[in-house]
Amino acid sequence: MDSDTPVPDPFAGMAQEERKRAHETAILEMVYSVSRFHSVTPTERPDFELVHRVNMKPFGVEITQLFVNESIARFNLIPGYPHRLWSGGTHLHKRDVKVLQSVRVKVSDKDGDIRHPDLPAVITETPSLDAFRAQLAKVIRGKSEKGYDSATYSHINLVILDWFGLEFDASKYLTDRFFDDDVRAALKESPFREVLLIVNNTVPEGIGDDETRVNDARIIPLQQLLAMERFYVTGHMIDAACDGQLSAVSELNRLTIDHVSRVQGYGLPVECEGRPFLLYGGNLLEIGDQGLSVRDSADYEVDKYPLIDIADRMSPIVEARVTEEANANVFGCGFAEKAHRPSIWAKS
């Protein structure tokens, strides 16, 4: 893009509140195909009310964004601010001077040939993964403390748009890319059935010959991913600790459900189709003959499954060892659903 031309503003001409609502709508559309719903209504808390079909109870969606700091937020949200800086203009806030550094750079290709001898740019310090996770936990807790009328909705989800821009390969990643103990605690304590993080895949498929990276936003369901992590690693630790002493896969399933729910505090043991499952948020988890199975309620109301008491117990010594080892391990994944393109961006 020509550095002399400001980036087009898809929200141009809107008043501040109208712009804010349009931006929230764009983020909502990145996660939900709104045309498939009977109704999508803007509200105050949460930000949107969605109804699958007429006469069904609505669910709510709260929208927020994840920034490194206020300077980065201003840079991305204030129309024309990036162009103002790389055109030699002044910063809008004194804190921005150190964070958003206006410079001239020389850009070369992989063969060392100069592509741009004197390109205006704004550089910032690359944030750490620890900083990302700390801010993620802070944002989840901040939204959790707002208070919502839960009786009105079947459930409420939180959607977070990430602006950290850290490296992320959607085809293979470990859960500690998103989780540490603080993030796990924030998720477990939150009132949100699901927390959907929109993050950019920085290793997209089909990179062009010029090696430019295309926009490839992905959706990470953090609550579901957390449930899968805790259930999967705990099951493996129990299987290893029992060392062939388990009578069947069903016993491993019961012990895993008990440990994840009773010891770790994630979800509830319930009965479905005559078998025990772990119910966490909108997910039912089970270890069967084919491995880990996850049933997703897909934002519909969760059935009223009866709670059960699991009598299976490991010895206190084995249970403690499983707890320690499960807490020290993470889960590997290779799937992240592609986000939708918001309608307002498609028109720009």
Q: What is the pLDDT of residues 274-284, one digit of tens each?
A: 999 999 999 99
Phi, psi of 208 (to 5 degrees): -70, 175
Q: What CA–CA distance (Å, rounded) separates 129 from 135?
A: 10
Question: What value does the mean pLDDT take over residues 296-318?
Answer: 94
> What share of the chain in percent tops pLDDT 90?
70
Question: What value does the mean pLDDT take over residues 110-133?
Answer: 88
Task: State residue 210's pLDDT score.
Answer: 45
Helical H runs in the chain? 16-31, 70-77, 81-86, 96-99, 129-144, 181-189, 222-242, 249-258, 316-327, 343-347
Q: What CA–CA distance (Å, rounded) separates 137 from 181?
A: 10
Q: Between 8 and 192, name the one with better pLDDT.
A: 192
Q: What CA–CA distance (Å, rounded) separates 73 from 58?
A: 31
Supply angle C-alpha 298, 299, 300, rounded to 5.
95
Residue range 229-241, pLDDT digits in tens: 999 999 999 999 9
For residue 46, say if its preceding peptide bond is cis, omega within 30 degrees of 0: yes
Instruction: Give pTM, 2 decimals.
Output: 0.91
Q: What CA–CA distance (Å, rounded) separates 87 from 96?
A: 16
Supply angle C-alpha 94, 100, 106, rounded to 5.
145
> What share of the chain in percent tops pLDDT 70?
94
Residue range 162-186, pLDDT digits in tens: 999 999 999 999 999 999 999 999 9
Q: Between 110 and 260, name the one with better pLDDT.
A: 260
3 pLDDT above the threshold of 90? no
